[in-house]
Structure formats: C-alpha cells, structure tokens
Amino acid sequence: MKWTIMQFRQMPKAWSVLSAALLCSLLAGCNVGPKYVPPAVTAPAAFKESPAQFKESNGWTVAQPQDATLRGKWWEIYNEPELNSLEDQLNIDNQNIQQAFENFMEARALVREVRSQYFPTASVGGSYTRTQPSSNVGSATTTSSSGAKQTQVFSIPAGVSWEPDLWDKVRNAVRASQYNAQLSAADLENERLSEQASLAAYYFEIRGQDALQKILNETVEADRKALEVMRANYDTGVGDQISVVEAQTTLESAQSSALNLGIARAQYEHAIAMLVGKQASTFSIPVEPRTTAPPPIPIGLPSQLLERRPDIAAAERSMAAANAQIGVAYAAYYPALTLSASGGMQSSALKNLLDWPSRFWSVGPSISETVYDGGLRRAEVNQYVAVYNANLAAYRQSVLTAFQQVEDSLAAVRILSQQILHQQEAVNSSQTFLKLETGRYNNGIDPYIDVVTAQTTLLNNQQTLNGLQVQQMTASVQLIEALGGGWDRSQLPTPALVTQKPSRSETTIQH
C-alpha cells in the first residue's frame, strides 16, 4: 500500500507535534548521574622482599630485569612437558572454567537486553470479532432472528511506542550492564588462573610423593637386607635376638610409611583428573620420582600488580557498575516522555479490509512525573550510593590482599630456599652418621639400637628435605598466582566488545 503526498497532507497537525517532541527529546538529553572516576591507589615503590634480600640468601632469586613480567602460558616457565599438556587440557575441558564462561556469555546477553530500550517497540497483529448486542439497547435497522443487530469487524492493527532517553537512564543502565559484563570476564580469568595454579600445585605434589616413595622404597630395601644380616648373625650365634627384633620393627615401620604414601598420591591424581575434565577412574599420571628447585620468576614492579590481577580488575568494574546505577536511580526524579502511534486497517467486510477508507490511526506524546512516592526514589539513590561505597572498600581490600599474597609467597620461596640448603646439609650429615654408626656396630663397639637411631635420623631428614622442596615449588606457583599469572588488564574486553552479538559457536547448547 502506497501513500501519496496529498494523503500525508490530509493528516492532522499531530505529526508536527510528534516531530517537535522528538526534536526536543534529542536536544534535551543529559546525564544526571555522577561521573565515574577510578579510585587512586598508591603502590609501594618496591616489594618488601627485594631482590637484594634474595642475593644475600644464597638461594632462590627472582628473575631480572626487575620490571619483567610473566606472559601467556606462565606454567611453561617450569619446563615440564607433561604439566604443559595437562594445562592445555584444563583450558579446554575444565567445567568450572566452562561455567564461568557461560556466566560471562549471560552477562553479554544482558547488555543487549538493556540496550534494546534505546529503540522503539513496534507491534502488529490481526483480529476478527463478531458482536451480538442486547435487543433491549437502542434500535436496530438490521436485526437478526433474535431482534438485535449483529456486527463483525476485521482489523489489522499496528503500534509503535518509544520513550526517549532524556536523562540517560537507559545509557547508564547500558553502562552498568557493560561494566558487569567486564566484571564477569575478569571473574572468568580469575577462575581460569585459580584452576591453572591448582593443577600446577597438585602436579608438583605428585612429583614430590613419587620422590618420597623412592626414598622409602630404598629404605625398606636397606632395612630388609639389615634384617637378613641380623637373622644370620643370630642363627650363627654372633648376634643377639634383640637386634633381630629391632631390625624387624624398623622394617615394618618403613613398609607402613611407604604404603601410606599411596593415599596422598591417589588423591592428588584424582584432583588433577577432575581439573582436566576426566573421570578419575580412567585417569592416571606415570610415576616419576623427581624434585627440582623453582626457576627464577619475574615479579615486576609493585605498581604493575594493580593491572595484572583479574580479581582487582573485577573489583574496579563493580565500582563502575554501581556508579552507573546511581545515575539510573537519579533519572527517576525527572519526568518521562513517551511517544506513541497506532494505526492499521479495519473493516466490517473482509473484501474491503485493505481499502484506503479502512485506515485508522492515532498519534501523540504523553509525559508523566511522579509527585509523591513515599521516599522511594531517595531510598534507591541511597541504596546505590551505599553499594558503590561498599564496592570501593572491597576494591581497596583486594589491593591490600594482592600485596599481602605477593609478599607472603616471596618470603616463603626465599626462606624455604635457605632452609633447603641447611636441610640438605642435615641429610648429608645423617648419611655420614649412619655410615659411622654401622661401622661401630660391625666392630662390636655400639649396640644395634644405635644403628636404628641413625637410620631413623636419616629417614626423617630425607622426608623433611622432600617436604621442603615440594613446599617451595607450590609456593612458587602461589607466587605466580598472586602476581596474576600471565594476564593483564589490556586483555579485558572493552564495552563495545561485550555489546557485540556472540558467534554461533558461543551460543550453541551444550550436550
């Protein structure tokens, strides 16, 4: 159906009123909310655990230059091919990461939902009604068998309504949803980092358990040979029964400890299976007895920490979202303008429905203002101001926590590296002690109980050394996690990006 110029001229002046109202709405828009300014946080000039302290410790040290930072796949710094493979599986199949990703996709969808309020709402439909009025109301020229006039109406109505964003209520709502989507993206990266760090820590725990198992297996074998010697001596009358009993007790104790190690290793293996999205019943990690010292780790400058931690980025985005919500609440104080128009075709005969005389329409703006709400708007503004202030405190707490965790981990790795050096000397001394005491027993100077004491001392020192080495490796993983891994704020998606429509693969239902 085409409309001519003359037909438009026949329209009443309501179109002029609508045009004028639309122009005013475009010119009058202004942001009534507070402007967001990210809070200023002063970072220390240097970490308390400075490189100078590491040099003096004659142990583990940080990487140089001082401002260097980790990038990308941070776990590759350990040069562990098996760990690299497991981390790649985790990034694909970990269900906690997948859940966080879907939460991010939901947040992106909410941005587009809110943004739809920028645009008019249009509707179209069709209807048919047939009416039988009461015969006792008025008079009828044409009556049915019951004496009352019957009418029928065919209608194709359409309508358009739009509320211009005069006071940036929608714009602030869109900003809030965009910031929340960025917050969700930061939460996703924080969850990813947490899962990656847990996997690395469990991996080094397993390697430490394998190394400890080797120590205990060697101890069991040495104790078994010692028992055989004690029995042979006793059978030939050279030794005494108490030496046999002591050797037997030592062997059984070592065997018990060796068996107990299987519990922890199995649990770490099952935990890794869950992290990489595999069933624990079908997953295994080969035994490889090995403990190593952590590599030098670039820690960067303290000021860089604020840009590298996804949890700090999430806390800052929550403040931005709360600030935008204050603007939404303030907009409720101002009048709302609605522009609406409706029209269509209507006829009592279906064959005339699309004729020009069958048209109908109406158009006009409306404006409304709340004059009394019992303090609702003031309470909503106060609510979002309190939310902003709470998020500000949470942000500052996140920053304090970040520096604490970095300092804790730096201190742990440094001090453990010194302790390992001393513990290694203790192991060496224990080996010498056992060797000398065995010689004294063979020469008939000392009883066999002194040999058992030397064996126990050596085993305890070896176990302690193994535990310290594993603790140092896991502390280095915690340090990398505290530093934010290889992430930085530049990887946070922009507001424009979180507003974009996702790809088909991102919106596919998972089975």
Average pLDDT, 10 consecutive residues per value, the chain (511 residues): 36 44 48 85 84 63 76 92 95 94 94 92 88 70 58 88 88 94 96 96 96 93 90 86 90 91 94 95 93 89 91 96 93 88 85 83 87 90 94 95 94 92 95 93 89 92 95 95 93 92 71 57
The Cα angle at residue 57 between residues 54 and 61, in degrees rounded to 5: 35
Q: Choose among 415, 397, 410: nearest CA to 480.
A: 410
Which residues does 337 contact at the CB level (< 8 Å), separation at least 6? 21, 25, 163, 164, 166, 365, 366, 367
Say which DSSP state 238 is in: S
Amino acid found at 152: Q
- Alpha-helix runs per DSSP H in 139-280: 169-235, 241-275
* C-alpha torsion sign, points 130, 134, 137, 140: positive
Residue 28, pLDDT score: 47
Residue 355, pLDDT score: 82
Instruction: Identify the three-state secondary structure at position 121.
Output: strand
Q: Is the peptide bond before 51 cis (omega within 30 degrees of 0)?
A: no
Q: Choose among 121, 114, 288: nearest CA to 204.
A: 288
Q: What are phi and psi of 360, to 5 degrees?
A: -145, 155
Instruction: Identify the three-state secondary structure at position 115.
Output: helix
CB-based contact 223:250 (threshold 8 Å): yes
Which residues does 271 contact at the CB level (< 8 Å), separation at least 6? 198, 202
Q: Rounded distance, CA 462 to CA 470, Å?
A: 12
Q: Rounded distance, CA 43 to CA 29, Å?
A: 39
C-alpha atoms less than 13 angstroms from C-alpha of 419 in its C-beta half-sphere:
16
Residue 128, pLDDT score: 85
Q: In 215-237, which positions are buried (b, 16+ CB within 10 angstroms) versus exposed (e)?
A: bbeebbebbeebbebbbebbeee
| Neighbouring-strand partners of residue 361 | 343
Say which DSSP state 444 is in: T
Residue 21, pLDDT score: 44
Domains of the chain: 1-30+119-164+335-368 (2.20.200.10)
Residue 149, pLDDT score: 76
Q: Rounded distance, CA 495 to CA 182, Å?
A: 7
Residue 48, pLDDT score: 86
* C-alpha torsion sign, points 473, 474, 475, 476: positive
CA 101 to chain centre: 8
Dihedral, CA of residue 321, residue 326, residue 329 and residue 333, to nearest 10: -150
Say which DSSP state 16 is in: H
Q: Rounded distance, CA 456 to CA 451, Å?
A: 9
Q: In 135-159, which positions are buried (b, 16+ CB within 10 angstroms) versus exposed (e)?
A: eeeeeeeeeeeeebbeeeebbbbeb
C-alpha atoms less than 13 angstroms from C-alpha of 108 in its C-beta half-sphere:
21
**In what helix (H) or strand (E) does residue 14 lie, and over which residues does it extend?**
helix 14-28
| End-to-end Cα, the chain, rounded Å | 48
Angle between helices 448-482 and 169-235 (to 10 degrees): 170
Q: Rounded distance, CA 401 to CA 395, Å?
A: 10
Q: Which whole-number Å values give the CA distances from 213 to 197, 290, 459, in the listed order?
A: 24, 10, 12
Q: What are phi and psi of 121, to 5 degrees?
A: -105, 125
Burial status of residue 196 (CB atoms within 10 A of its CB: 0-12, 13-18, 19 or more) = buried
pTM: 0.85
